[in-house]
Chain A
Amino acid sequence: MNRLALETRQVSKQFPDGTYALQNIEWGVQEGETMALIGESGSGKTTLLRLLNRLAQPTAGTIYIQGNPACSQDPIQLRRCLGYVPQDGGLFPHWTITRNVCLVPHLLNWSLQQQESQFQHLMQLVNLDAAQMAERYPIELSGGQRQRVAVARALAANPAIVLLDEPFGALDPLTRHDLQDQFLSLKARLQKTMVLVTHDIWEAFRLGDRITILKDGHIQQVGTPQELLDFPANSYVHSLVCHYHNHPE
């Protein structure tokens, strides 16, 4: 069995009012695999993602990042080693594309030449024209372009793990489809460990090597698309999967 890139042991997240966002989560992501996290809003999927890069702290249990307990690492250093793509791109509106993409390399004190060549490389990777993009501002880009820049930024410092929070959720269906295609080819080339939060079962099936289904802070089932289709663990998973069957695409 491959080493687990990400692992949670008995992890719970309880709010001050006593309700649980996540309860006793035993979960792992293997090296190089893309794990899709799916659930309704309030299911705890975004909370789980935020626990991984320590934007939130678990109230119980331990999270391991590449074998090391997350709580023993400096959160700032940890986050610089984890790529992150938020739903709306999260690009700094007052920074040029170059500055946005090279944020983490800059934080890590890369030389300007290194940053420059990395920028060229990344733009090529996400199918954008580096020369054309360099000095532009996010507002001058289309939604799809912005999201590609966000992916480039997440990959900028060559992180082993990339976290994506509904990265294609805000795009129109055509652009989304296009970007999903690019994501698949990127995934094949880079072989990175990725956690992709989505509420779109079709996207999860298409992009995820395995899928985690969350509901009300509990994991319902973890498995490959085929396993979920063939052996749904409960009626909730079954209804989700049926939804996939009925999807127009």
Chain B
Amino acid sequence: MNIGRGRQRTRGRCSGLVFGFLLVLCSVPLSIWASDTIVVGSKNFMESRLLAEMFAQLIEARTKLTVKRRLGLAGTQVCFEALKTGGIDLYPEYTGTGLVTLLGEPPMSDRVAVLNRVRTEFLHRWNIWWLAPLGFENSYALALRRDQAQALGLQTISDLIPIGSTLKAGFGYEFIERADGLPGLQQKYGLQFQKIVGMQETLKYQATANGDVDLLDVYTTDGLLSVYDFLVLEDDRHFFPPYDATALIRGDTLERYPELASVLSLLTNALTPERMRIWNLLVQEQGQPVPQVAREMLLDLHLLMDPKPLPSSSQQRSSQSLFVYMWNMRATLAVRTVEHLGLAGLGLLLGIALAIPVGLILERWRKGAETMIRIVGMSQTIPSIALLAFMIPLFGVGTFPAIMALWIYSLFPILRNTFTGLRDAAPNVVETGRALGMTEWQILRAVRLPLAAPTIMAGIRTSAIWTLGTTTLAAFIGAGGLGVPIVAGLQLADVNVILSGALPATILALAVDALLAWVEHGVKPRGLEPVR
């Protein structure tokens, strides 16, 4: 007879599982630690990506530095926090945004005054530099369809005052919050609207087509303005500050790589609003990839020395079916999938490593258990995107804060199931073990843990699925993963691009769920259900 046999079988399975996780771990890209690397960031809209990509290609072409891209970070605050904490070295920003959103100062209308003001303050407060403007402004403006504007006789924002309450406004989320957006605008003009709908930037134009909304906040360089034939209302009371586009860069990066300043200054006054609108349109409407358009911009400016064509992946997206597109993108998608698995796997592994021991401790210390579990449970109620954002001031952007957030997110189901699984594991049997002279440790190891294993595993399974889902949001703080094509696709309003991320993410979740269901079945001790 062999009393230890059952235990050994379980242990073999466990070590296989751990090994699998380690494999995933090793596949997390290690490039973060590479030296002489510049990290270029961008916000999550198209022009920001395009400018960032242009910076990146220019630096690659004209210096020996390696460039890492963290494009599509979730909004101004995330980008700027990332810059402050060194998660990125530079990103495209607009002077008006710097003045109003980042410094919290009232809008000014003089371009030079605004530039000088932000330069002084950013240098003084954070040692962050505004490079010379690129030559175009991308201002906020209000716009509506030209035919509708003419029918209503609208030309200026002041014209909206009497009829605003009959109009439905579709505004971007950031615009609704920003001092140089809706709140300030309403104060300056005294505007009222029938309804204000918060909308994703790229979906707004389509929404006007079927009359869901009338009035939009727009970027003046938005290529879609001409596609949809929109009229930009004149800011007759000069509310919007000037928004000169340029690169915002860390002082210590400039110090370490002085060549960056001279290379990026090649772009000073090189761009015009008209050209910018066309390039934006190439990406937005014709579905050309950002790297290709950025390259065309640089070629157009005669800033690239060696005009060799890009690889064939630069075909137009919209002309392809989903599966052809995904097949063409297979290399990228494979990397994204590995990143995704790596992030989620590491978060989950850390979650298991913390939650199971804590669950064991809480089971011994029942008094504090409920409170503790409730506190951990509260972390679950923080919206995941907010949790990711909270991580930025602490850990910057990229892989590390994403894993920290996923870790926190993964804890609750595992902790709760470990605790209840152990607490409820056949109490009468546990009592008998005690009465027959087993020590508490023996009872835990030989009785309670094996009996609780399926419950604990179910917690891990729940946690794994949540974590995998949340990982798609990691793209917002530049951690990669399958969220990257989803976020990019949302900005492009391109279903294929969204699906190229969403589809593998879903398949991944299903596969992991099936795998863990199998493991869950495996850890279920024999004898808990009749043998067939």
Stretch at the interface among A60-68, A94-102, A179-187, A220-228: A94-102
Which residues on A sit within 8 Å (CB–CB) of B227? none
Which residues on A sit within 8 Å (CB–CB) of B26? none
User: Given that A137-B526, A139-B528 are contacting pairs, would A80 and B434 also be in contact in the complex, using a CB cutoff of 8 Å?
Assistant: no
Which residues on B sit within 8 Å (CB–CB) of A95? 6, 527
* A174 at the B interface (CB under 8 A): no
Residue of A nearest to B451 (CB): A94
Stretch at the interface among B35-43, B128-136, B278-286, B437-445: B437-445
User: Given that A95-B6, A137-B526 are contacting pairs, would A90 and B437 also be in contact in the complex, using a CB cutoff of 8 Å?
Assistant: no
Tell me whether B434 and A88 are in contact (CB under 8 A).
no
Nearest-neighbour CB distance to chain A for B20, whole angstroms, equals 25
**A57-87 interface bits toward B, Cβ cutoff 8 Å, 1 = contact, 0 = none:** 0000000000000000000111111001010
Stretch at the interface among A12-20, A104-112, A192-200, A202-210: A104-112
* A119 at the B interface (CB under 8 A): yes
B309-359 contacts to A (CB < 8 Å): none
Tell me whether B1 and A119 are in contact (CB under 8 A).
yes
The contact size tier of chain B is 20 to 34
Tell me whether A116 and B431 are in contact (CB under 8 A).
no
A44-67 contacts to B (CB < 8 Å): 53, 55
Q: How far is the CA of A90 from the CA of B428 in the complex (A)?
A: 6
Nearest-neighbour CB distance to chain B for A113, whole angstroms, equals 10
Tell me whether A94 and B437 are in contact (CB under 8 A).
no
Which residues on A sit within 8 Å (CB–CB) of B528? 93-94, 139
Which residues on A sit within 8 Å (CB–CB) of B451? 93-94
* A236 at the B interface (CB under 8 A): no
* B34 at the A interface (CB under 8 A): no
A78, A86, A94, A140: the one within 8 Å of B6 (CB) = A94
Tell me whether A116 and B527 are in contact (CB under 8 A).
no
B373-432 contacts to A (CB < 8 Å): 426, 428-429, 431-432
Tell me whether A79 and B529 are in contact (CB under 8 A).
no
User: Given that A76-B439, A79-B434, A92-B433 are contacting pairs, would A102 and B1 also be in contact in the complex, using a CB cutoff of 8 Å?
Assistant: yes
**B446-470 interface bits toward A, Cβ cutoff 8 Å, 1 = contact, 0 = none:** 1100110000000000000000000
Tell me whether A94 and B436 are in contact (CB under 8 A).
no
Tell me whether B3 and A92 are in contact (CB under 8 A).
no
Nearest-neighbour CB distance to chain B for A145, whole angstroms, equals 14
Interface size in chain A (residues, C-beta < 8 A): 37
Nearest-neighbour CB distance to chain B for A142, whole angstroms, equals 13
Which residues on A sit within 8 Å (CB–CB) of B433? 92, 103
Identify the interface centre among A78, A104, A107, A119: most chain B CB within 10 Å of its CB.
A107
Residue of B nearest to A49 (CB): B435
B429, B435, B531: the one within 8 Å of A79 (CB) = B435
Tell me whether A137 and B434 are in contact (CB under 8 A).
no
Tell me whether B525 and A94 are in contact (CB under 8 A).
yes
Tell me whether A92 and B447 are in contact (CB under 8 A).
yes
Tell me whether B436 and A80 are in contact (CB under 8 A).
yes
Tell me whether B436 and A103 are in contact (CB under 8 A).
yes
Main secondary structure on chain A at its contact with chain B? helix
Which residues on B sit within 8 Å (CB–CB) of A102? 1, 3
A77, A81, A84, A116: the one within 8 Å of B435 (CB) = A84
Tell me whether A106 and B429 are in contact (CB under 8 A).
no
Residue of B nearest to A101 (CB): B1
Q: How far is the CA of A140 from the CA of B530 in the complex (A)?
A: 6
Which residues on A sit within 8 Å (CB–CB) of B438? 76, 103, 107
Identify the interface centre among A81, A99, A115: most chain B CB within 10 Å of its CB.
A99
* A134 at the B interface (CB under 8 A): yes
User: Given that A91-B429, A93-B451, A99-B3 are contacting pairs, would A139 and B529 also be in contact in the complex, using a CB cutoff of 8 Å?
Assistant: yes
Tell me whether A93 and B426 are in contact (CB under 8 A).
yes
Which residues on B sit within 8 Å (CB–CB) of A167? none
* A146 at the B interface (CB under 8 A): no
Tell me whether B526 and A94 are in contact (CB under 8 A).
yes
User: Given that A55-B431, A88-B428 are contacting pairs, would A79 and B527 also be in contact in the complex, using a CB cutoff of 8 Å?
Assistant: no
Tell me whether A76 and B527 are in contact (CB under 8 A).
no
Tell me whether A93 and B429 are in contact (CB under 8 A).
yes
Nearest-neighbour CB distance to chain B for A234, whole angstroms, equals 33
Residue of B nearest to A112 (CB): B1
Which residues on A sit within 8 Å (CB–CB) of B527? 93-96, 137-139
B511-532 contacts to A (CB < 8 Å): 525-531
Tell me whether A104 and B437 are in contact (CB under 8 A).
yes
A110-141 contacts to B (CB < 8 Å): 112, 115-116, 119, 134, 137-140
Residue of A nearest to B2 (CB): A112
Q: How far is the CA of A115 from the CA of B1 in the complex (A)?
A: 8
Nearest-neighbour CB distance to chain B for A203, whole angstroms, equals 21
Nearest-neighbour CB distance to chain A for B118, whole angstroms, equals 68
Tell me whether B1 and A98 are in contact (CB under 8 A).
yes
* A153 at the B interface (CB under 8 A): yes
Tell me whether A134 and B437 are in contact (CB under 8 A).
no
Which residues on A sit within 8 Å (CB–CB) of B525? 93-94
Q: How far is the CA of A98 from the CA of B529 in the complex (A)?
A: 18
Tell me whether A79 and B436 are in contact (CB under 8 A).
yes
Which residues on A sit within 8 Å (CB–CB) of B6? 94-95, 99
Tell me whether B437 and A76 are in contact (CB under 8 A).
yes
Which residues on A sit within 8 Å (CB–CB) of B3? 99, 102, 106
> 10 tightest A-B contacts by CB?
A90-B432, A137-B527, A94-B525, A80-B437, A79-B437, A84-B435, A98-B1, A94-B527, A86-B432, A99-B3
Given A76-B438, A102-B3, list of 17 further CB < 8 A pairs? A53-B435, A55-B431, A79-B437, A80-B437, A86-B431, A86-B435, A90-B428, A91-B429, A94-B6, A94-B527, A98-B1, A106-B3, A107-B442, A112-B1, A137-B526, A139-B528, A153-B436
Query: Can you pick out 17 interface pairs between chain A and chain B where the beta carbons lie within 8 Å of each other?
Result: A53-B435, A55-B431, A76-B437, A79-B435, A80-B436, A84-B432, A84-B436, A90-B429, A92-B447, A93-B429, A93-B525, A95-B527, A116-B1, A137-B526, A139-B530, A140-B530, A163-B435
The interface of chain B, by Cβ under 8 A from chain A, is 1-3, 6, 426, 428-429, 431-439, 442, 446-447, 450-451, 525-531
